[in-house]
Structure 1
Amino acid sequence: MTPDCIITDMFYPWTVDSAAKLGIPRLVFHTAGYFSQCAASSIKQYAPHLSVNSNADTFLLPDLPDTIEMTTLQLPRWVRTQDGYAQLMDRIRESERQSYGAVVNSFHELENAYEEHYTSITGIKAWSVGPVSLCVNRDAADKVERGNKVAPNENEWLNWLNSKECSSVLYVSFGSLNKFSTAQLIELAHGLDASSHQFIWVVRQKDKDQDEGWLEDFEKHIKESNRGLIIRYWAPQLLILEHQAIGGLVTHCGWNSILEGVTAGLPMITWPLYAEQFYNEKFVTQVIKIGVSVGVTEWRQWDEEAREVVKREEIEKAVIFLMGSGVQAAAMKNQARELGNAARRAIQSSGSSQSNLMSMIKELTSLKCGRS
């Protein structure tokens, strides 16, 4: 039986040829949002980073709906060096333009200006169907087991959060692929402690030959003060973020984590590491304006430890700002809550993402009937 269409991840560009041979439409699925696609396209087309005198100088990203500035060090290495990965990205972009359309894990109310800009620069249709995580993780069991891992000791973090005041706890997590030096982890620990705000910190397990005595001492210290909790196992992030005690999060700016934070209505401290995460940071801090940067300056490969170490003073400053009661922080929190409400409405039966999904199915069905 011949399929009616092909929907594939962007990293399978060869499927555009398969779809052409079968005479069916190919749709590319983007797990990241529109903004990062538009930012990358701006860099590719105009190469503004080639006009600055040093890697640390800022430049403007041309032809975007907002004024966005970056530095060369914040760009992916393949953009700076034009290595073999850059050739793959060129092939991906070309296959995208040959596709019938795109399915994007975002929602209209979050990225409407970039949704329109994306369709303009690619020349293809796009359907926003997210937040996908919110669509598929509807009940507590789904949220606990997201990632096919069951979190032990649920009562520990839940009881701890239940004892805290509303919006008083900062959630700190950098995803499952982060790789921090011991020096950076120590700076982070001291920065969190010095802020005097309560926090849950998800710390990735280190190799067995690495000394973590300092972390054991730190964990003992924060338990005695009851101001912090460290999770060393798989953390049920969705359940934690939606708990009323959580008031913000520190994120590596992976798109899924950003969407989960947005869905929970939380402001963010941004700490990008690799992939498109520096683009995502600009979106959070400069476009939707619900985040503050901790000050990371250099992109790195996902499997590398960063050469720079963010100092404890900068971490403390960002935490105090975000978790405080200042005018700017209050505005971020209000904006985050509004976006969270919009995200939940988007996946309802009359919401924008649900309507887009039904519209896409209807159009693909019409195409099938036209081929019959």
Structure 2
Amino acid sequence: MAATETEKPIIRTSAPPPPHFVLVPLFGQGHTIPMGDLACLLAERGVRVSVVTTPVNAARLQGVADRARRAMLPLEIVELPFPPADDGLPPGSASGDNVIRLFLALYRLAGPLEAYLRALPWRPSCIISDSCNPWTAGVARSVGVPRLFFNGPSCFYSLCRHNVATHGLLHDGGDTAYVVPGMPLRVEMTKETWSAAFLNCMPKWEAFLEDVREGMRTADGAVVNTFLGLEEQFVACYEAGLGKPVWALGPFFLNNRDEQALATRVDKDKPSAVDQSAVTAWLDTMEQSAVIYVCFGSLPRMLLPKQLYEVGHGLVGSGKPFLWVVKESETASPEAQEWLQAFEARTAGKGLVMRGWVSQLAILSHRAIGGFVTHCGWNSLLESVALGVPVVTWPHFGDQFLNELLAVEVLGVGVPVRDAAVTVAPVLRGHIARAVSELMGGGTVAQERRRKCKEYGERAHRAIAKGGSSHQNLTQLLQSFMPSGSKEFLDT
């Protein structure tokens, strides 16, 4: 693309350019963690990678930078100027209004990003930006760089949302039946979950979501954190629906093979980061596949303190050993603190309660873990399935409801904590005890669920190995955007 009279031309040098991908993640653990893994995955193939983000998010990626430094990977974290007051959400303020405010504030990064790109000696090979950073579309177009969008949810959810939008049903699933059109299998939802999954209950988001859809329409393709052995039919349908390539490269995290790499996925500088060695030491005393792990991700919060009590009593009622990760914000009240201290004393030896951030991959990889009570965020669900750990599903908002449907009804690796007909009802101790007992129990159904999950885990490892579907897809993606003379980097 030729520079106009008002544009600063990108300077060329005589030497051929190295492959260079610029990644633009969104703030927040659920978006930043997989983009950090993707950055390492690209760099391990010899590609220069620049992760461009805000100062606060750059600090969250320090573990990724440390890992790259140890492995001598061509990866850098680039901070763009951004007002400190707008860089991240205050603790406990992840409401819809606060999130949309921050999403819109990020549009101010367009100018600094373009300035960074124009200052490079060579035009980058490609930009990969989170789909919730639609402002990158204009920057890529202005500078003349191809752009892919990264979709964080499951491909199953992405296909559902694409089809609902295409058929003009985002605000109305139907008078009586809420069925997602154009799917390779029947996907039926209640009115409440339809609204929660597609954010119909948040009208202030509509203009932003239209920007997101436009950013997807104008991109050169999509990158998804999944693998064909898990979601092949949905990847194929999504690609056909978009009319552009969809590169299934996951699970990204399986390239984190050592303990230090696992630790980079936790913001280890957070005051609430726990001592992982204490967790491992406790798990080492447990029998294989005996422990249920309970964690609800970075954003979902309990209805405190009542909901906290229901979880605790439900875990005790299941009769299974448990490892329960509780956010510090969930025990802020004196009443909750007193209750939790008494609960820990009563369950000593049977359960372990951890307050703060843990290395989830290290826990899910431990031989003692036999199940996972999860909010169904895609990162958590994919990690669990790829490591062969079946799940109890407890979605809270957004894509999590469809991820639950994928886990329970399509893949057959999950047990819902709620009855399918009351998907937004309060969760009580009896629900939790029943679901955990069903997941961790014996019998033909439970054994078949575990067998399926183990098989998906084996498929995940084959996908990322040399010659596997995700490895080959990455090779093809890189070849599609590399300048001539660079392809010797690609098939390692």
Residue 112 of structure 1 and its aligned partner are, at CA, apart by: 0.3
The one of 296, 320, 324 aligned to 1:174: 296
The one of 441, 455, 461 aligned to 1:324: 441
The one of 69, 92, 100 aligned to 2:220: 100
TM-score, normalised relative to structure 2 = 0.68
| Aligned ranges 1:253-268 → 2 under 5 Å | 253-268=376-391
Aligned to 2:467, the other structure's residue is in SS state coil
Q: Which amino acid aligns with 1:219?
A: E
Q: Is the 8 A contact 1:97 1:123 kept in 2?
A: no
Residue 72 of structure 1 and its aligned partner are, at CA, apart by: 1.8
The one of 235, 239, 252 aligned to 2:362: 239
Post-superposition Cα deviations, 1:229-255, rounded to whole Å, max 9, x if no partner, equal: 111132121111111111010010111
1:26 matched to which residue of 2?
Answer: 147
TM-score, normalised relative to structure 1 = 0.89
Residue 38 of structure 1 and its aligned partner are, at CA, apart by: 0.9
Give, in whole Å, the separation in 1 of the partners of 2:283 and 2:369.
8
Give, in whole Å, the separation in 2 of the partners of 1:91 and 1:106.
24
Distance 1:269 1:23, change over 3 A: same
Residue 79 of structure 1 and its aligned partner are, at CA, apart by: 4.1
Q: Is the 8 A contact 2:274 2:354 kept in 1?
A: no
Distance 1:310 1:367, change over 3 A: farther
Highest relative contact order (Cα 8 Å, sep 6+), 1 or 2?
1
Does residue 229 of structure 2 align to residue 87 of structure 1?
no
2:372 matched to which residue of 1?
Answer: 249
Q: Which amino acid aligns with 2:191?
A: T
2:430 matched to which residue of 1?
Answer: 313
Post-superposition Cα deviations, 1:83-113, rounded to whole Å, max 9, x if no partner, equal: 1312222221122121111111111111100
Aligned to 1:257, the other structure's residue is in SS state helix
Aligned identity (percent) is 36
Residue 354 of structure 1 and its aligned partner are, at CA, apart by: 1.3
1:187 matched to which residue of 2?
Answer: 310
Does residue 316 of structure 2 align to residue 216 of structure 1?
no
Does residue 282 of structure 2 align to residue 160 of structure 1?
yes
Q: Which moved more, 1:142-151 or 1:214-223?
A: 142-151
Does residue 260 of structure 2 align to residue 141 of structure 1?
yes
Does residue 128 of structure 2 align to residue 10 of structure 1?
no
Q: Give the superposed CA RMSD.
A: 2.1
Q: Is the 8 A contact 1:6 1:24 kept in 2?
A: yes
The one of 318, 322, 327 aligned to 1:204: 327
Aligned to 2:328, the other structure's residue is in SS state coil
Q: Which moved more, 1:214-223 or 1:59-68?
A: 59-68
Residue 66 of structure 1 and its aligned partner are, at CA, apart by: 1.8
Q: Is the 8 A contact 1:76 1:274 kept in 2?
A: no
Give, in whole Å, the separation in 1 of the partners of 2:432 and 2:356.
24
Aligned to 2:297, the other structure's residue is in SS state coil
Q: Which amino acid aligns with 1:74?
A: T
Residue 210 of structure 1 and its aligned partner are, at CA, apart by: 4.2
- Asked which structure has the greater CA Rg, the reply is 2
Residue 322 of structure 1 and its aligned partner are, at CA, apart by: 0.3
Give, in whole Å, the separation in 2 of the partners of 1:358 and 1:13.
26
Distance 1:319 1:298, change over 3 A: closer
Q: Is the 8 A contact 1:183 1:309 kept in 2?
A: no
Q: Which amino acid aligns with 1:295?
A: R
Q: Is the 8 A contact 1:8 1:29 kept in 2?
A: yes
Residue 152 of structure 1 and its aligned partner are, at CA, apart by: 4.0
Distance 1:325 1:26, change over 3 A: same
1:303 matched to which residue of 2?
Answer: none
Aligned to 2:200, the other structure's residue is in SS state helix
Residue 147 of structure 1 and its aligned partner are, at CA, apart by: 2.2
Q: Which amino acid aligns with 2:236?
A: E
2:250 matched to which residue of 1?
Answer: 130
2:185 matched to which residue of 1?
Answer: 66
Give, in whole Å, the separation in 1 of the partners of 2:159 and 2:275.
42
Distance 1:251 1:354, change over 3 A: same
Unpaired stretches in structure 1, ≥5 consecutive residues: 300-307
Aligned to 2:178, the other structure's residue is in SS state strand
Give, in whole Å, the separation in 2 of the partners of 1:82 and 1:88.
11
Q: Which amino acid aligns with 2:299?
A: L
1:280 matched to which residue of 2?
Answer: 403
Distance 1:45 1:131, change over 3 A: same
Q: Is the 8 A contact 2:276 2:358 kept in 1?
A: no
Does residue 475 of structure 2 align to residue 358 of structure 1?
yes
Q: Is the 8 A contact 1:97 1:124 kept in 2?
A: no
